[in-house]
Amino acid sequence: MYQALYRKWRPRTFEDVIGQPHITETLKRQLESGRVSHAYLFIGTRGTGKTSCAKILAKAVNCEDLRDGEPCNVCKACVGIDDGSILDVEELDAASNNGVDHVRALREEAIFTPAAVKKRVYIIDEVHGLSTAAFNALLKILEEPPSHLLFILATTEAHKVPATIASRCQRFQFRRVGMEDIRSRLWTVAEAEELDLKEDAAELLARLADGSMRDALALLEQCAAGETIDAPLVRRFIGLAGSAEVAKLLAAIDVRDVETSLALVNELYYGGRDMGALLSELSTLLRDIMLTRIAPKGSETLLSGNFDAAAIDRFSAMAPETLLLALTQVTDAIADLGRSANRKLTVELVVIRLCDAGLSGDVGALLARIVQLEQSVAAGVPIQAATAVASGTSRAPSPTKVEAVPMADAPPWEATVPSERPVTQAAAPAPASDPVPQESERENGVWQQILDRVQAELDVSIYTLISDGKEVSASLDSGELNIYIENEFFRGIVEKKEVIDKLEAAASAVADRSVRVKCHSGSMPIEKSAVSKLDALTQKGFGNITIK
């Protein structure tokens, strides 16, 4: 019968446990001296060897031929514990046996002496899943256990274990397994299983395992379908974007090329790449670049190793403020992916915000925008022109300052008093009449009909942009649909040929005639977007009253 690699290569002795010498050596010395505690609490992340050490300890306390603190694995007790035929050693999952009734039944059974071995051992995995009543029921027997009883509790969340329980156990903290240890173990397993594992693939699998030996073996087994296991095959099987693609995406973001950035995201998405993995790799690259910027001397030992020095040096001109903002936005998007109904849209939105820091609307974005302006000044780019292009609006000229000229015969202290003669000044603008800010009901309804028709044909991100009433407005004049877009960046997205063609088709269907679409920067002119109050009253009417 086939066994998964992580089960087949599970450690059988303390010597086989990878990356936990501070625990295995202590347990072996306790076994040799006979000072074994009645309760242990093993704490650590997944795949670090907690349950494996618990089973080895259960065998060691019952082994008939213990040698240097290691079980022999050949005596009747060791073989019976390994195959599960000895019922005196029981492994429980607190996630499914978390009620007080389960713990009470365990407590009533535990008082009896073991039938086949020297000690009755209970291994309770994920012990933090027990209810409060179950912990209270377990507390008494942990306080005064029989001499033949041994409890081994394992958990990934130590903060959920009550202090009254933890204080009655010997606590052992399992570390994450190092990359070198994982890679060495993968080489051993691959050689024994006759797998053609390349060095770059072993290094990539060790990084992806994130300190979990079990995850590393599971990933190796997943990639074992290929004849040769190399880094490209690992990325393809697991759904990673790859360092080259991520660096290319960041390069497009760095020059604020939103079209290329979104095209890369779309290509990776339809290529089967996982969006969460894409953001994770992007955050890793941003982190490595930031470390090299803020800590250039000591960053070599802190880098992830996913990207080479050439890829990191390519972005050496990025400001730390920009990197910090980008890293914050990417990590926030990673957290939002779990709650998002459209993972691709979430990634697209964060890419758009990364390309245009002004869209974020927070203090970090403002700081990043200031840094961009400072860089523009250093490069000789006029700030006023750059701001006008980015916002899609023009700056109004400042009013002319007119100073009164004193009379020649006036004394010095009266020089500032204006003469009685009229002085020519700039004419003050006439007060504008109160416009009605709303669109007419007819135009609003026609634009909504066009949006309803085109919704199924456009990409979700583009439809979200054009349906935003604060940024986009439209008016249909005879055979022309004029679309007014506040943001110049959004206008560049909407003006793509495929988007214009679909909008023209939808507008022509609604108007029942050929319609041409034209995009404009800024807001809709008042004369097109509003009707006067008198016209509005005239259109509505009041019964048989006619307004002239």
Q: Is domain 441-533 given the CATH code 3.10.150.10 in the classification?
A: no
State the pLDDT at residue 187: 93
Residue 339: count other Cβ atoms within 10 Å of its Cβ: 7
Closest CA to 201 of 176, 246, 238: 238
Residues near 203 by beta carbon (within 8 Å), at least 6 away in sequence: 179, 183, 231, 305
Give the span between the Cα atoms of 445 and 327, in whole angstroms: 42
String of b and e for 142-171 (b: at least 16 CB within 10 Å)? beebeebbbbbbbbbeeeebeeebbebbee
**Among candidate residues 525, 425, 410, 426, the one with its CA nearest the CA of residue 477:** 525
Helix (H, G, I), strand (E, B) or coil at 92: strand
Residues 6 or more apart in contact with residue 486 via CB below 8 angstroms: 392, 393, 470, 471, 472, 522, 523
Q: Dump pLDDT digits (tens) for 157-172.
A: 999 999 999 999 999 9
- Tell me how crowded residue 310 is: count the other CB atoms within 10 A of its CB: 8
**In contact, 110 and 141? CB cutoff 8 Å:** yes
3-state secondary structure 181-229: HHHHHHHHHHHHCCCEECHHHHHHHHHHHCCCHHHHHHHHHHHHHCCEE
Please say whether the beta carbons of 63 and 72 come within 8 A. yes
Closest CA to 102 of 130, 83, 121, 77: 130
Say how far apart CA 365 and CA 373 lie, in whole Å.
12
β partners of residue 93: 125
pLDDT at 364: 52
Q: Report how far residue 88's alpha carbon sits from residue 85's, in angstroms, rounded to the nearest whole number.
A: 9
pTM as predicted: 0.60
Kindly list the distances between the CA atom of residue 455 and the CA atoms of 130, 298, 452, in Å, as whole numbers in the listed order: 50, 52, 5
> Domain ranges in the chain?
5-173, 179-238, 243-371, 441-533
Query: Could you tell me where the DSSP H helices lie in 295-440?
Result: 309-313, 320-337, 343-355, 363-378, 383-391
CB of 120 within 8 A of CB of 110? yes
Which secondary-structure segment (H or E) carries 39?
Answer: strand 39-43
Query: What pLDDT shows up at residue 77?
Result: 92
Residue found under tokens 């028709």: 453
Q: Which fold has domain 243-371?
A: Zinc Finger, Delta Prime; domain 3 (1.20.272)
The three-class DSSP label of residue 268 is: helix
291: closest CA among 276, 277, 307?
307
**pLDDT score, position 401:** 41
CB 108 within 8 A of CB 137: no
Q: What is the pLDDT along the chain (548 residues), one digit of tens a residue?
A: 678 898 999 999 999 999 999 999 999 999 999 999 999 999 999 999 999 999 999 999 999 999 889 999 999 999 999 988 898 999 988 877 778 888 888 888 888 888 889 999 999 999 999 989 889 889 988 888 888 999 999 999 999 999 999 999 999 999 999 989 999 999 999 999 989 999 988 988 988 888 899 999 999 998 887 678 888 888 888 877 777 888 899 999 988 899 999 999 999 898 888 898 899 989 988 988 888 888 777 666 667 767 777 778 888 888 888 888 889 899 999 998 888 889 999 999 999 989 887 666 554 555 556 666 666 666 665 554 444 333 343 334 444 443 444 444 444 434 444 444 444 444 444 444 444 444 444 455 788 888 888 888 887 778 877 887 777 888 887 788 888 888 777 777 888 888 888 888 888 888 888 888 888 888 877 655 544 344 444 444 444 544 44
Strand partners, 519: 483
pLDDT of residue 392: 40
Residue 13, number of CB atoms within 10 A of its CB? 18
Q: Identify the CA nearest to 49 among candidates 237, 176, 200.
A: 176
pLDDT at 371: 60
**Residue 450 in tokens:** 């066009």
Tell me the C-alpha distance between 335 and 66, whole Å: 49
At 311, which amino acid appears? A
The tens digit of pLDDT for each residue in 216-234 reads 999 999 888 767 888 888 8
Instruction: Supply the pLDDT for residue 437.
Output: 41
Q: How many CA atoms lie within 13 A of 62 on its CB side?
A: 31
The DSSP symbol for 412 reads G
Going by the DSSP 8-state scheme, the letter that residue 135 receives in this structure is: H
Closest CA to 186 of 153, 151, 212, 160: 212
For domain 5-173, the CATH superfamily is P-loop containing nucleotide triphosphate hydrolases (3.40.50.300)
CATH of 179-238 given 3.40.50.1100, 1.10.10.60, 1.10.8.60, 3.40.50.970 = 1.10.8.60
| Cβ neighbours for 335, distance < 8 A, ≥ 6 positions apart | none
